[in-house]
Structure 1
Amino acid sequence: MTNRDLLIRNAVVHTVDAQDSVHSSILIRAGRIAAVGNEAEVQAVAAPGTDVYNAGGKTIVPGFIDAHNHMSVAAFEPLAVDCSTPPLASMDEVLGAIEAHCRNLPAGQWVRGIGFHASQIKERRNPTRYELDEVAPNNPFFLLESNCHAGYANSLALAAVGIDACTPDPWGGHIERDGNGTPSGTLLETAANLLHSASWEAYAESDWDRAVGLLEAKAREYLAVGITGVGDACVTTRAAELYRRADAASKLPLTLQQLHGGDHFFSQQDLRRTDIVDRIHSSESRMLRGGTMKIFVDRAYPDGPGLHQIHDGCTKHVGSNFYNPREVHDLALQATDLGINLAIHGMGNCAVDAVSDAYESVRKRTGDDAILRLEHAFIAEVSQAPRLAKLGIDLVANPGLAYKDGLFFGSWRGENQKHLRILPLRSMIDAGVRVSFASDHPCGTFSPLEIMWSAVTRRHYTGALIDPEEAVTPAEALRAYTINPAHASGRGTEEGSLEVGKRANLLVLDQNLLTIPPDELRSVIVERTYVDGLVAHQRQTTQPVTAGALPS
């Protein structure tokens, strides 16, 4: 790698600027874009001795920005048991994977499982504590559900965090119990917080250097699929410590925005705590950003997100919320008064309304400058889109989850609810909402091209189509992974498009994702990833970084 100027020629450069300009050459100088245009125009700006790379007609786009990702959770996947369903298809297969992993581990060592969802195995149920006791008899074991909204623990894990028959349900959560009041091992929402934190901290705090190495390795995986910026969508107190350590050690090879939570994953936000406010406002570096707070409005369990269904002409509320609309409103205004940006999780149409009401009051107080983010909108109404657009709310959506969880979202929506759509992205874009795509990884794939494919095809892994009328175009999908999330992350003037003065975060793709058949989007390969003008990932079959130089 070098800090020398680099001219990339013979390319198809999609700038994703306001005009969606397309050029053939681009010049990088001191980590920023110095010129974009045809080869003669760009070469006229280049200095003698500038390195030249002939792209051979390949496509260049801005680096992808995954604005809603749980990187601090996903980083520890190599230490966990892969219980992903699919490919695991039965309870026996899931339990077998856990037993094989735990068989030779030291007694007492925490173990976490990942990727499980009961809707995708033939028994359609969760494991009990006693089944987990049998396959992990010597280790506290916690199986984190694929959507992170529930978890399943064995007896050693429950005992380690003090959950027993006398433990009350916490705010925003539920401890499932048998007929005798004994916890079954199933923990919903905030009831899983202690297990989530204990297993995460056992991995991280036992060896911070290893933890930083795992975080960097995860970032390298992201770079390999073209991600140059990430927003961690729930940074706990200890996760913030991990990021600080990684940044201080220069082990963050991509931009990381922290959406701060509390001490635990689903903590109730308390802005009276000066340590939380100070953490949100902590100083930024070139690669590590803060300033934003995450609020969870509605829950996945026990009965789905906050929804307003219509039955016989009457509106009926179903699902569960963490906060009522007044609490969301007051918390949003408190954060705004403290100079804190907001990213509010709302999955159902009831939650979308609560977020919109809160943001309307924020706009009246602050004007148009504040960045106001709505995360998810898994099940929303087309009629809600114009209000989001009018209020300038950025929707950060996760269309990749339609591939794995689209039918599950359909079960939440219910029968004959024609006013509700699953991920109504077409309707949002048509109404003028600025829509960003994001992975929500590890809840789903982190590959932007896979997720763009999902947004364009709306296909479930079974072959079913998920509200196909809400499909977007490849060009819209590209904006939703580049300039739009840059704006939603507060970096729209810094990256997200290939314009003079912006950071040279860009990709070389083997195919033009805007001209190939849409169904082939997920076959596009990232040949190179540049961060600040330097090669951060290079496919091993490609040519060396420098293919020549201008005459000196």
Structure 2
Amino acid sequence: MEVQELLITNAVVRSVDDDDSVHGAVLIESGSIAAVGSEANLRLKASNQAAVFDAGGRTVVPGFIDAHNHMSFAAFAPVTVNCMTPPLASMDEVLEVIRAHCSNLVRGQWASGFGFDMSKIREKRTPSRYELDEVSPNNPFFLVDVSGHAGYANTAALEAAGITQCTPDPWGGGVERDGHGLATGTLMGTTAGLLNSISWEDYAERDWDHAVELLESKAKQYLAVGLTGVGDACVTAKGAELYRRADEAGRLPLTMQQIHGGDFLFDRQDLGNHAVLERIHRKGTRMLRGGAMKVFVDRAYPDSGAIHQIHDGCVKHVGTNFYNPREVRDIALRATGLGIDLVVHAMGNCAIDIILDAYEAVRETFGRQPVLRLEHAFVAETRQATRMAELDIDLVANPGLAHNVGDLFSGWRGENQNHLKVIPVRSMIDAGVRVSFASDHPAGTFSPAEIMWTAVARRHLTGVSIEPEEAVTAAEALRAFTIHAAQASGRDSEEGSLEKGKRANFLVLDRDPLTCTTDDLRRLQVDRTYVDGRLAHQRAE
């Protein structure tokens, strides 16, 4: 039976409003926040029919919002091969788990793996197409690199995608070849994105009902760590179909912002494609929204994000760009003119400057109203923070990735590049930039507690500190996962803080993230998750 009125008492209610006010109770009516305040005052406001939950002194906060996640892809992890390195430590171990998985598949069915990082295995290399042929002889197989920007295909997968000696490198992509011009199996950029999407779509279209089950199961995992809202940072046409089916079946238990990509991962945006525009502008529902578009400016493999290093006083460009500056500016202006919110991916300082120039043109033409987002900023300059703040750009950062791959970003920066910082969220906040935290899952953990801990501790898995001067406070981390993430998603009028009239998306935590120790922050547990005032998750005692 649905509870129409609920009073939470004996709590530390951190509203995360403009004043960071703290209260003792919160009253929910018909799925919305009716009031926050003292327990005595709210008991007077509540009706005799109100259900009462005694929080036992625990902390209540708004639901966490992961504004940059790849839920539609991550949901399929149970039917793909877990090639995470670690715990896998050698090429033989990686190949063996692939063999075990593919031996049970129907001949011809696509298979894929995820989580592989060649820098974390003993051999420090990628698998060849022929090694993958041996462990997947009857099925097209594609292993997605941990970066998401590369992958490794067997011969059947290459043939299914039409990649031969005669195939040129497509826009934004690459096919690694040996001395005879044959593909080695390593694919980059849009080529990797195409194979990733083909393998995903093959499974989804064979069994849409099971695909919806997988999506709902993933959403329940998110609810268990306190996520009540997610932004899927590259929704393809088939991804949008999956979300539509789940929403219509009542199996999307958290709020979802679709950030639309092209026909496949990393695909070039074509604003003349009416199907894409129709998908972006499709009317939203209470749980499912659209209206935003993803643009990738730089890629991560085989070199790095687009970065400007300085050597002997001269600027050296490293990394690979998807677009030139004029193209980014034209896309930004045209998209904004079509009423589309922009979410632009930039990992290096060169890519960031390109986006800032484009966004300055958008502000000059359309004013301050449009939501303009910049994703990642893994290797950035502190000077860029001031300009971002002036242009009112939301930075959606991924400090949680510092724990697993902070050493990779440090390598991208290079030696003696003092103008560059790795994930400089402290510098951004101090300059006045509104910063949100997000997971980029499956590239990293989706646990907000883990991500907030990394943002505060700045510790790599080896124990080495990753630019500790860029650490944030726990209070800043909480805002970055709640109200700031809601603002970046264009939903701050309805979620992200505990204020009268907003949706009752909130959490009951086992400890106070603002007063516990840094190490305890990592161990934070979500005892209860509420979405629209309904109990969506309860931790087993």
User: TM-score w.r.t. structure 1 length?
Assistant: 0.97
1:548 counterpart residue number: none
Residue 206, structure 1, aligned to residue 209, structure 2: no
1:519 counterpart residue number: 519
Mapping for residues 154-165 of structure 1, pairs under 5 Å: 154-165=154-165
Range that drifts further, 187-196 or 425-434: 187-196
1:22 counterpart residue number: 22
- In the aligned structure 2, how far is the partner of 1:197 from the partner of 1:73? 9
Amino acid at match of 2:146: S
2:508 counterpart residue number: 508
Give the C-alpha shift of residue 512 in structure 1: 0.6
Give the C-alpha shift of residue 143 in structure 1: 0.3
Give the C-alpha shift of residue 161 in structure 1: 1.3
Residue 390, structure 1, aligned to residue 396, structure 2: no
- In the aligned structure 2, how far is the partner of 1:23 from the partner of 1:461? 37
- In the aligned structure 1, how far is the partner of 2:350 from the partner of 2:198? 33
Give the C-alpha shift of residue 206 in structure 1: 0.3
1:366 counterpart residue number: 366
Amino acid at match of 2:447: S
1:51 counterpart residue number: 51
Give the C-alpha shift of residue 123 in structure 1: 1.1
Equivalent position SS for 1:107: coil
2:132 counterpart residue number: 132
Mapping for residues 324-363 of structure 1, pairs under 5 Å: 324-363=324-363
- In the aligned structure 1, how far is the partner of 2:419 from the partner of 2:103? 51
Verify the 8 A CA contact 2:98 2:136 in the aligned structure 1: yes
- In the aligned structure 2, how far is the partner of 1:247 from the partner of 1:106? 30
Equivalent position SS for 1:400: helix
Percent identity between matched residues is 66
Amino acid at match of 1:7: L
Give the C-alpha shift of residue 43 in structure 1: 0.9
- In the aligned structure 2, how far is the partner of 1:80 from the partner of 1:37? 48
- In the aligned structure 2, how far is the partner of 1:431 from the partner of 1:173? 36
Give the C-alpha shift of residue 540 in structure 1: 2.1
Equivalent position SS for 1:233: strand
2:497 counterpart residue number: 497
Mapping for residues 46-195 of structure 1, pairs under 5 Å: 46-195=46-195
- In the aligned structure 2, how far is the partner of 1:230 from the partner of 1:381? 28
1:550 counterpart residue number: none
Give the C-alpha shift of residue 198 in structure 1: 1.6
- In the aligned structure 1, how far is the partner of 2:101 from the partner of 2:279? 37
Equivalent position SS for 1:115: strand
- In the aligned structure 2, how far is the partner of 1:230 from the partner of 1:253? 11
Amino acid at match of 1:437: F
- Residue by residue over 1:171-219, the C-alpha shift from the partner in whole angstroms, topping out at 9 and shown as x without a partner, is 1111000110000000001112331122001110000000011000000
Give the C-alpha shift of residue 381 in structure 1: 0.4
- In the aligned structure 2, how far is the partner of 1:442 from the partner of 1:194? 17
- Residue by residue over 1:356-392, the C-alpha shift from the partner in whole angstroms, topping out at 9 and shown as x without a partner, is 1111111111111110000000000011101000000
Amino acid at match of 2:482: T
Range that drifts further, 36-45 or 437-446: 36-45
Give the C-alpha shift of residue 506 in structure 1: 0.2
1:488 counterpart residue number: 488
Amino acid at match of 2:112: R
Runs of 4+ deviating beyond 6 Å: none
Amino acid at match of 1:537: H
- Residue by residue over 1:211-248, the C-alpha shift from the partner in whole angstroms, topping out at 9 and shown as x without a partner, is 01100000000000000000000001111111111111
- In the aligned structure 1, how far is the partner of 2:500 from the partner of 2:4? 17
Mapping for residues 349-498 of structure 1, pairs under 5 Å: 349-498=349-498
- In the aligned structure 1, how far is the partner of 2:316 from the partner of 2:185? 32
- In the aligned structure 1, how far is the partner of 2:535 from the partner of 2:109? 39
- In the aligned structure 2, how far is the partner of 1:305 from the partner of 1:39? 52
Range that drifts further, 343-352 or 295-304: 295-304
Residue 223, structure 1, aligned to residue 223, structure 2: yes
Equivalent position SS for 1:396: strand
Verify the 8 A CA contact 2:4 2:31 in the aligned structure 1: no
Verify the 8 A CA contact 2:232 2:258 in the aligned structure 1: yes
Give the C-alpha shift of residue 466 in structure 1: 0.6
Give the C-alpha shift of residue 484 in structure 1: 0.1
- Residue by residue over 1:424-474, the C-alpha shift from the partner in whole angstroms, topping out at 9 and shown as x without a partner, is 000000000000000000000000010000100001111111111000000
- In the aligned structure 1, how far is the partner of 2:246 from the partner of 2:50? 33
Equivalent position SS for 1:485: helix
Give the C-alpha shift of residue 302 in structure 1: 2.5
Equivalent position SS for 1:292: strand
2:243 counterpart residue number: 243
- In the aligned structure 2, how far is the partner of 1:336 from the partner of 1:108? 43
Residue 257, structure 1, aligned to residue 261, structure 2: no
Give the C-alpha shift of residue 3 in structure 1: 2.8
Verify the 8 A CA contact 2:149 2:193 in the aligned structure 1: no
- In the aligned structure 1, how far is the partner of 2:46 from the partner of 2:142? 56
Give the C-alpha shift of residue 9 in structure 1: 0.3
Equivalent position SS for 1:283: coil
User: TM-score w.r.t. structure 2 length?
Assistant: 0.99
Which runs of 5 or more residues in structure 1 are unaligned? 542-552
Equivalent position SS for 1:497: coil
Amino acid at match of 2:53: Y
Verify the 8 A CA contact 2:450 2:522 in the aligned structure 1: yes
- Residue by residue over 1:79-125, the C-alpha shift from the partner in whole angstroms, topping out at 9 and shown as x without a partner, is 00000011111111111111111122221111110110111111111
Give the C-alpha shift of residue 268 in structure 1: 0.4
- In the aligned structure 1, how far is the partner of 2:86 from the partner of 2:341? 37
- In the aligned structure 2, how far is the partner of 1:193 from the partner of 1:273? 19
- In the aligned structure 2, how far is the partner of 1:223 from the partner of 1:253? 8
Amino acid at match of 1:288: L
Amino acid at match of 1:209: D
- In the aligned structure 1, how far is the partner of 2:482 from the partner of 2:140? 41
Equivalent position SS for 2:299: coil
- In the aligned structure 1, how far is the partner of 2:147 from the partner of 2:176? 18
Amino acid at match of 1:519: D
- In the aligned structure 2, how far is the partner of 1:528 from the partner of 1:157? 44
- In the aligned structure 1, how far is the partner of 2:105 from the partner of 2:292? 39
- In the aligned structure 2, how far is the partner of 1:355 from the partner of 1:46? 50
- In the aligned structure 1, how far is the partner of 2:345 from the partner of 2:197? 20
- Residue by residue over 1:392-421, the C-alpha shift from the partner in whole angstroms, topping out at 9 and shown as x without a partner, is 000000011001110011111111101100
2:528 counterpart residue number: 528
Give the C-alpha shift of residue 265 in structure 1: 0.4
1:549 counterpart residue number: none
